[in-house]
């Protein structure tokens, strides 16, 4: 095999390792971000649930005041009953009292509904608070672990980059430049093996001329379809 191809394969080996390390580092960052988002979502849910609960409590308070007012009215009407002079007035007051009582019944039913709602909201709030605690704990643990891992991966990437720089210095800059463009564009490899006269990268059958050049080894050969460097 040509020396420059051997050298390209060494560089590619390092690039594959670096790509893997970078991907692992990114996955770690994203994993931590996802946990952070979980904490944020739970905090937001607590806020929303708290608002709902406050709303229900305000309704309960308002209804309570309304009921108290109507109960006062009843007392007032009952006192008036003692002072009325005729039956008609008495009946009118009786009518007013039963109207207030009916109103109170409606208000009490509504208040009961809000109280039940508030109870559910209270329980939901407890649940979300517990979720938040779990999420925060998970985040704190993961943060320490992730920071360690990211530091370690960062160091490994740095080492491999240094190694790679040394190996690149042994290559023709023009060849390396071409290689780098191909490697960065492809998700796999830039230097591939020829398998049964086809390119190991794109699987296209190679022309006889390309294969002849490869066997002679006078120059470095590329696939005419995908541009990848070829070796036998």
- Nearest approach in angstroms of CB 133 to Zn ion is 55
- Nearest approach in angstroms of CB 194 to Zn ion is 10
- Nearest approach in angstroms of CB 145 to Zn ion is 41
Cα–Cα distance measured from residue 227 to residue 179, given in angstroms and rounded to the nearest whole number: 9
Structure tokens at 225: 């379809």
Which of 114/201 has CB closer to Zn ion? 201
Give yes or no for residue 225 binding Zn ion (CB under 5 A). yes
Nearest 10 degrees: CA dihedral of 23, 26, 31, 37? Answer: -150
Contact code string over 169-208 relative to Zn ion, x by CB under 5 A: ------------------------------x-xx------
Nearest 10 degrees: CA dihedral of 189, 191, 192, 198? Answer: 110
Query: Could you say which of 142, 171, 211, 226 contacts Zn ion (CB under 5 A)?
Result: 226
- Nearest approach in angstroms of CB 226 to Zn ion is 3
Give yes or no for residue 223 binding Zn ion (CB under 5 A). yes
- Nearest approach in angstroms of CB 201 to Zn ion is 4
Pick the stretch among 4-12, 16-24, 106-114, 216-224 that binds Zn ion (CB under 5 A).
Answer: 216-224
Residues 22-81 that bind Zn ion (CB under 5 A): none
Pick the stretch among 28-36, 40-48, 131-139, 219-227 that binds Zn ion (CB under 5 A).
Answer: 219-227
Strand partners, 205: 198
Give yes or no for residue 231 binding Zn ion (CB under 5 A). no
Pick the stretch among 7-15, 114-122, 124-132, 217-225 that binds Zn ion (CB under 5 A).
Answer: 217-225
Which of 74/226 has CB closer to Zn ion? 226
Q: How many residues bind Zn ion, per CB under 5 A?
A: 7
Contact footprint for Zn ion (CB under 5 A): 199, 201-202, 223, 225-226, 228
């Amino acid at each position: 095999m040509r020396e420059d191809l051997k050298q390209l394969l060494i560089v590619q080996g390092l690039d594959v390792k670096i790509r893997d390390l970078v991907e692992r580092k990114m996955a770690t960052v994203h994993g931590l971000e996802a946990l952070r988002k979980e904490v944020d979502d739970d905090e937001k849910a607590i806020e929303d649930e708290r608002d709902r609960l406050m709303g229900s409590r305000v309704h309960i308070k308002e209804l309570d005041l309304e009921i108290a007012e109507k109960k006062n009215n009843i007392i007032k009407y009952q006192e008036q009953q003692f002072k009325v002079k005729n039956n008609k007035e008495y009946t009118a007051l009786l009518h007013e009292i039963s109207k207030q009582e009916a109103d109170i019944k409606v208000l009490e039913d509504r208040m009961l509904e809000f109280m039940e709602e508030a109870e559910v909201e209270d329980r939901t709030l407890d649940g979300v608070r517990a979720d938040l605690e779990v999420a925060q704990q998970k985040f704190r643990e993961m943060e320490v672990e992730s920071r360690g891992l990211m530091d370690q991966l960062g160091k490994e990437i740095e080492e491999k980059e240094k190694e790679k720089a040394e190996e690149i210095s042994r290559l023709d800059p023009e060849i390396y430049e071409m290689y780098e463009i191909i490697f960065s564009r492809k998700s796999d490899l830039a230097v591939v093996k020829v398998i049964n006269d086809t390119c190991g990268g794109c699987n296209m059958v190679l022309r006889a001329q390309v294969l002849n050049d490869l066997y002679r080894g006078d120059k470095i050969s590329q696939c005419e379809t995908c541009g990848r460097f070829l070796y036998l």
